[in-house]
């Protein structure tokens, strides 16, 4: 019976050392391979040039080395780059490189599709096919980091888990990817440069506190009363605003990190005076700041972007009540790369489960 090959990046450094010992090799070979996998971001065994050809052949005989590949890119007028990433099983996820004057941000995906059906998000119209493995999340960062250097000659400065999927529903792989991205024997990025965004799963936010994570947390809020939030985010029906506030306060107590509320202001839905007052009141319950996000239209969407004068009134009310507010202008709208627009437009994955593997536009 043929031995089933393991994905080499699923092994620990100790596993690799033990493998080499079992093959009559020195244990330090395991450390060499580990460095190639996570520090040098090797893409295949042949790149591991300080290993003999014989050792590399042994690795190929016993392990697989699936990688994420760049399927296609689109470059926006504002220099934002949207990438379609092809996974080993031919599924596609999207990531975005967002250049600004002060930072270079990688927006990465954590799932193929999404199960949460938020009404304003194109990804929510897709079926959730599977979670991404930790190394698939890591690969997105590496590919976007390389893009930043090659296209703009700038280093990657920030990472946001705000692409396709709900990171807290892929908790183990999300944490493992952060560990490999931030570890000294990984990409060695600061956890303070990483933000994980969630639609709001109270028990998992509490678990982040228990695990005393060091990255930043953002909550996609978009309404500060349960009735409205239930209408646009069905997940709120089992994770009420009070439950989320309790979880976020626990997170803050355990980590010392305040939360960022992401709030898309929709015309005639949540952009009124009362909506702003409710949001200001909710901000008193949890140590938080607010990022106001432009609504980015999606195919078949039921919402519109609010008017500038209503947005100004909304932010004014928050500021009068002592809330820290930033208005984030959308990037990459012309290539469907902005917040809420990632949908693999030509890689159609519908809620009925029909999947077409085609080149992205």
The answer to whether 349 touches 129, Cβ cutoff 8 Å, is: yes
Query: pLDDT per residue over 10-23, tens digit each?
Result: 999 999 999 999 99
Number of Cβ atoms within 10 Å of the Cβ of 316: 12
What DSSP character marks residue 329? Answer: P
- pLDDT band at residue 68 using 50, 70 and 90 as cut-offs: very high
- Whether residue 195 lies inside any domain: the answer is yes
Tell me the pLDDT band of 115, cut-offs 50, 70 and 90: confident
Predicted local confidence at residue 1, as pLDDT: 45
Do 135 and 59 fall into the same domain? no
Does residue 134 fall inside a structural domain? Answer: yes
- Model pLDDT for residues 318-355, shown as the tens digit of each residue: 999 999 999 987 665 565 655 545 555 544 333 333 33
Rounded to the nearest 10 degrees, the angle between the axes of helix 134-152 and helix 171-182 is 40
pLDDT at 39 over 60: yes
CA angle 326, 327, 331 (to 5 degrees): 125
In a shared domain, residues 59 and 175: no
> Cα 121 to the chain's mean position, in Å?
15
Whether residue 122 is found in the same domain as residue 202: yes
What average pLDDT does range 215-229 have in this prediction? 97
Tokens, residue 49 = 């040039």
pLDDT of residue 336: 60
Residue 358: phi, psi to the nearest 5?
-135, 165
Calculate the alpha carbon distances from 216 to 110, 297, 350 in Å.
Answer: 16, 27, 32
| Same domain, residue pair 165 and 304 | yes
Paired tokens of 311? 């947005």
pLDDT in tens, 162-220: 999 999 999 999 999 999 999 999 999 999 999 999 999 999 999 999 999 999 999 99
pTM of the shown model: 0.90
Which residues fall within 8 angstroms of residue 55, CB to CB, at 6 or more apart? 25, 29
Element (H or E) spanning 209, and its range?
A: helix 202-210
- In this structure, are 112 and 216 located in the same domain? yes
* Whether residue 13 is found in the same domain as residue 80: no
Q: Is 53 inside a domain boundary?
A: yes
| Whether residue 173 sits in one domain with residue 50 | no
Alpha carbons 301 and 269: distance in angstroms, whole number: 14
pLDDT at site 149: 97
pLDDT for 4? 86
SS3 percent helix, strand, coil of the chain, rounded to 5, is 40, 20, 40
b/e code 186-205 from CB counts within 10 Å (16+ = b)? bbebebebbbbbbbbbbebb
Q: Is 114 a catalytic residue?
A: no
The token pair that represents 217 in the structure block: 């947390």
Higher pLDDT, 273 or 4: 273
The two three-digit tokens of residue 295, written as one number:
């609504």
Find the catalytic residue in 107, 118, 283, 339: 339
Task: Evaluate whether residue 349 is within a structural domain.
Answer: no
Question: Residue 111 — φ and ψ, nearest 5°?
Answer: -140, 155
Residues in the chain, how many? 361
Q: State whether 149 and 10 are in the same domain.
A: no
Among residues of the chain, what percentage have pLDDT more than 90? 80
Q: Which of 35, 94, 227, 354 is catalytic?
A: 94
CATH code for position 111: 3.20.20.70
Range of the domain at 37: 6-64
Q: Are residues 240 and 270 in the same domain?
A: yes
Both 204 and 148 in one domain: the answer is: yes
User: Rounded to 5 degrees, what are φ and ψ at 11?
Assistant: -90, 150
Average pLDDT of the residues in 123-150: 93
- 94 tagged catalytic: yes
Asked whether residue 33 falls in the same domain as residue 103, the answer is no
Q: Does 343 fall in a domain?
A: no
Per the prediction, the chain carries an average pLDDT of: 90
- Tell me the C-alpha distance between 245 and 225, whole Å: 12
Single residue among 47, 64, 81 that ends a domain in this structure: 64
Check whether residue 243 and residue 117 sit in a common domain. yes
pLDDT surpasses 90 at 233: yes
- CATH label of the domain that carries residue 24: 1.10.150.530
Q: Which of 333, 281, 288, 346 is nearest to 92 (CA)?
A: 346
Q: How far is the C-alpha of 12 from the C-alpha of 298, rounded, in Å?
A: 42
Provide the number of structural domains found in the chain: 2
**Is residue 360 one of the residues assigned to a domain?**
no
Last residue of a domain, one of 46, 64, 82: 64
For residue 92, pLDDT over 50 is answered with yes
Q: Can you read off the two tokens belonging to residue 223?
A: 């309404």
């Amino acid at each position: 019976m043929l031995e089933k090959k393991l994905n080499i990046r699923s092994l620990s450094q100790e596993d690799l050392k033990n493998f080499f010992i079992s093959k009559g090799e020195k244990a330090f070979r395991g450390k060499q391979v580990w460095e190639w996998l996570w520090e040098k971001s090797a893409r295949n065994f042949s790149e591991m040039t300080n290993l003999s050809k014989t050792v590399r052949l042994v690795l190929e005989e016993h392990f697989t080395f699936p990688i994420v590949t760049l399927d296609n890119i689109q470059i926006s007028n504002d220099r934002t780059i949207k990438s379609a990433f092809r996974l080993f099983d031919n599924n596609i996820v999207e990531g975005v490189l967002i250049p600004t004057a002060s930072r270079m941000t990688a927006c990465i995906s954590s799932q193929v599709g999404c199960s949460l059906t938020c009404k304003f998000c194109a990804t929510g119209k897709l079926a959730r096919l599977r979670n991404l493995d930790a190394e698939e999340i890591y690969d997105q960062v590496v590919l976007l980091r390389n893009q930043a250097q090659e296209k703009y000659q700038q280093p990657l400065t920030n990472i946001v888990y705000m692409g396709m999927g709900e990171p807290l529903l892929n908790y183990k792989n999300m944490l493992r990817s952060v560990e490999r991205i931030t570890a000294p024997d990984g990409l060695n990025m600061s956890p303070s440069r990483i933000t994980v965004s969630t639609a709001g799963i109270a028990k998992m936010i509490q678990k982040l506190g228990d695990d005393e994570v060091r990255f930043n947390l953002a909550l996609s809020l978009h309404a500060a009363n349960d009735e409205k939030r239930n209408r646009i985010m069905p997940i709120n029906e089992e994770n009420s605003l009070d439950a989320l506030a309790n979880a976020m306060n626990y997170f803050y107590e355990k980590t010392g990190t305040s939360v960022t509320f992401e709030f898309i202001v929709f015309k005639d839905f949540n952009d009124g005076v009362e909506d702003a007052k409710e949001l200001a009141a909710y901000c008193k319950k949890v140590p938080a700041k607010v990022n106001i996000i432009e609504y980015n239209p999606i195919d078949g969407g039921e919402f519109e972007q609010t008017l500038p004068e209503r947005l100004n009134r909304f932010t004014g009310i928050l500021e009068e009540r002592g809330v820290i507010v930033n208005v984030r202008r959308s990037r990459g709208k012309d290539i469907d790369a902005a917040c809420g627009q990632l949908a693999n437009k030509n890689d159609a994955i519908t809620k009925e489960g029909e999947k077409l593997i085609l080149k992205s536009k």
